Amino acid sequence: MRFTLARVIAPLALVAALALPAAAQTTVNDTSLQRVPADAAFYSSSLRLGEQIDLLVNSKAFAKLKSLPAVHLAFEHLFKEMHKPGEPGDQIFHFLHQPENKDLRDLIHELWRDEVFFYGGSDTGRFLQLMMEVNQSMQFGPLMALTQGKSPQSAQASAAIAALKNSKNLTMPNFVLGFRTKKGDAAKGQLKRLEDLVRKHIDQDEHLKGRCKPFNESGATGFRVDFDGSVVPWEQIPVEGMDDNKEEFKELVEKLKKVTLTAVFAVKGDYLLISIGKDASGVAQFGEKGASLATRPEMAPLMKKADARIVSIAYGSLKLSELLATKPEDIIALGPMSREGLKKTPISEKLQDKIATDVEALLKDIAAVLPKPHASMSFSFMTGTGVEGFSYSYDNNPGPKLPLTIVGNRGESPLVIVAERGTDATPNYKKLVQWIKRFYVHADAVTTELAGEAQAEQFRAGIQQVLPYLKRFDELTGDMLLPALADGQSALVLDAKWKSKQWFPELDQKGQSLPMLEVGIAFSVSDADKLVNAFKGYRALVNDIFGQARNFGAPIPDEGWPEPKTKKAGPATLYYWPVPPMGQDEQILPNIGVSEKLLTFSLSASHAERMHRSAPQTQAIEKLAGGKLVSAVAMVNFEGLVAAARPWVEALGVPALQEVADENAPPGLRKADIPAQIAAAFDILSILKRSVAVTYREGNATVTHFEMVIKDLP
């Protein structure tokens, strides 16, 4: 499934969701977003980190966590390890706590609290594209060498050198890391100290002397360090084994000597900026007149929420996506390579041309379905109940034309459901089959040319033994199974509603009735009769293959693949093969469930029945979808997952820990103390309630609207 749980969880700041009063903070209208140039290749910003940490530290959950003896002991041990004499942690601690470093210590504490951002200049994409070209050249160079009878190692070096030497983009892009600060004067003072330290160090080297200079441009104050390729000891780079590339390498070195690299450390307005790139323009352009990133159309949804308690923003430009994406011409370019490779084979020119022509046509088909490059933007913000956010992919893909009905086949309050609407796979499958047939013809022709007609006849005879079975498989798949599933909806459903006192004979559950994870997979059905007949056809096909194998002496039982047993489960018919009794709970019954509109695979009849019974749309989905046609949904019940795991840990984990507990351990960590600490840990985890995300189309964008609900302990 393209829609993964990471898309639900990744953008969410856990600590930001604890519902405490909001601190006074600047809005998006007064952040780096308004100062970064509009042509930035990418941008990422974290805001209100200090507020989020304060919320965490002042929460009841954190207070309970700190009170746990195990946690207290762990922090005490960590503190001792960090402060061992001579260790880096101890050295840093003592350095920062020297009286003359008080301003530095206060500045470091303050820098990350309000806003931290990072962005790349407009030429970032071309530089990254060059790095990709070099990598691809090194990958395909040896392959081209083999087709030309050359040394793969020499070809790899030559390809990399050529890619760099011929590039017009051999310049470093500008990257800027920024911190919002209210201590501008203190920041300037600390930068002056750093400047003196850097100058003293690099001036000891004659090649670097004088390269550290004060920086006072465009309202920024600080220092810069300038480098270029001439400071690199190129003469020390070994060139043995590069006989074929020495001259090209010399030309490349002359070009690299002109490449510049500048590092700038400066305070500009309310920001401490650190820039590295081809020049100082990253700092100079920050906050200057001209269009800012906030004015881009991709940012319009964010600006509508400008007064929200924004905690994260991310952006990737269309230009960057275009430069880094695999292009149709990249795929099509492999065609000439294959044609050159075929010329080195002993097959006839006529056959070479036929195979190469089909390879080129196949590559064009692959190139036609490559995803299109697009800009993207996402942001999240704190609410009274947690964190909410949006992710926008400006991909211009068509939205769903039908509702995502399969999300209703989830059972009642499952632990996890991830569902999406795809497309009918039948056309792509049939196109794949056509290509397999075309290349089979080429394989037959190659065998005839290289091995002779007699060997080719043997090859054909062997294929003829298999061909009828392949044809039946193709008909069952392309004409029955895939058309039966043409609606294209799928879902993963996890639950834990079944319980047992003895799941498996080897498992001692201490007499406890414990839940087990229920795994279910569901697909929407367009034609139930065609689906059932396809499964029957597969069984008959397998048994015919078994029969043929028995004729050749294979030890396969006469009954082959037995007919499944059936039972009703609500609106579904379950097809199953009884699991041999080995002491496991009888609830364990892997099955295939088929109803008029749904196909399921599950581990129990009860789970299958729940999935086949429709449930009303949840309020959380309706709220996030806002009446739009949804193409994907993901819901995670964290509280339920914790509740399902808790009895296992308390029944089996706690006794195991008590067995190895040291009675001489500190108070709170002894055998009798373990159950209470485990219970407290689960109470803390229970503050995570649920996360929900839905995907839909809005204008020219695919939008994912997500929410995580967290509630502090009472």
In the chain, where the domains are located: 20-123+171-325, 328-368, 397-425+486-525+564-714
Which pLDDT does position 250 carry in this prediction?
78
pTM over 0.75: yes
Q: Which of 43-47, 130-134, 139-143, 323-327 comes out lowest in average pLDDT? A: 139-143
- Express each pLDDT in 187-239 by its tens digit: 999 999 999 999 999 989 888 898 999 999 999 999 999 998 888 887 776 65
| Residue 271 contacts residue 180 (beta carbons within 8 Å) | yes
Helix (H) or strand (E) holding 272: strand 271-277
- Express each pLDDT in 624-656 by its tens digit: 999 999 999 999 999 999 999 999 999 999 998
Q: Is the pLDDT assigned to residue 370 strictly greater than 70? A: yes
Helix (H) or strand (E) holding 696: strand 688-698
pLDDT band at 243 (very low <50, low <70, confident <90, very high): low
Which pLDDT does position 11 carry in this prediction?
36
Which pLDDT does position 141 carry in this prediction?
56
> What is the Cα–Cα distance from 401 to 267, expressed in whole angstroms?
52
Helix, strand, coil percent content, the chain, rounded in steps of 5: 50, 20, 30
Which pLDDT does position 142 carry in this prediction?
56
pLDDT band at 131 (very low <50, low <70, confident <90, very high): confident
> What is the Cα–Cα distance from 111 to 117, expressed in whole angstroms?
11
Range 18-38 average pLDDT:
72
Show Cβ contacts of residue 542 under 8 Å, excluding neighbours closer than 6 positions.
Answer: 560, 561
Which pLDDT does position 84 carry in this prediction?
81
> What is the Cα–Cα distance from 617 to 708, expressed in whole angstroms?
18
- Express each pLDDT in 471-483 by its tens digit: 999 999 999 999 9
- Express each pLDDT in 498-511 by its tens digit: 999 999 988 889 88
pLDDT band at 137 (very low <50, low <70, confident <90, very high): low
Which pLDDT does position 104 carry in this prediction?
85
Cα→Cα distances 205→198, 219, 258, 385, Å: 12, 31, 20, 58
Q: What does the block give as tokens for 637?
A: 């019940």
Which pLDDT does position 231 carry in this prediction?
81
> What is the Cα–Cα distance from 248 to 161, expressed in whole angstroms?
7
pLDDT band at 148 (very low <50, low <70, confident <90, very high): low
Which pLDDT does position 140 carry in this prediction?
59
**Nearest to residue 292, comparing CAs of 261, 267, 313?**
313
CA atoms within 13 A on the CB side of 188: 13
Which pLDDT does position 12 carry in this prediction?
36
Which pLDDT does position 89 carry in this prediction?
75
- Express each pLDDT in 260-304 by its tens digit: 899 999 999 999 999 999 999 999 999 998 899 999 999 999 999
Which pLDDT does position 106 carry in this prediction?
86
**Nearest to residue 689, comparing CAs of 633, 607, 610, 620?**
620
pLDDT band at 20 (very low <50, low <70, confident <90, very high): very low
Which pLDDT does position 98 carry in this prediction?
81
Which pLDDT does position 491 carry in this prediction?
96
Which pLDDT does position 7 carry in this prediction?
38
Strands 518-524 and 598-602: antiparallel
- Express each pLDDT in 377-408 by its tens digit: 999 999 999 999 999 999 978 888 899 999 98
Q: Mean of the per-residue pLDDT values for the chain?
A: 87
Torsional sign, CA 490, 494, 500, 503? positive
Which pLDDT does position 126 carry in this prediction?
85
Which pLDDT does position 360 carry in this prediction?
95
Range 49-78 average pLDDT:
88
pLDDT band at 22 (very low <50, low <70, confident <90, very high): very low
pLDDT band at 156 (very low <50, low <70, confident <90, very high): low
Q: Which of 96-100, 102-106, 446-450, 535-539 comes out lowest in average pLDDT? A: 96-100
Q: Is the pLDDT assigned to residue 145 strictly greater than 80? A: no
Three-state secondary structure call for residue 669: coil
Phi, psi for residue 130 in degrees, rounded to 5 = -60, -45
| Residue 522 contacts residue 409 (beta carbons within 8 Å) | yes
Residue scoring higher pLDDT (476 or 583): 476
624-663: burial string, b at 16+ Cβ within 10 Å, e else: bbeebebbbbbbbbbbbbbbbbbbebbbbebeeeeeeeee
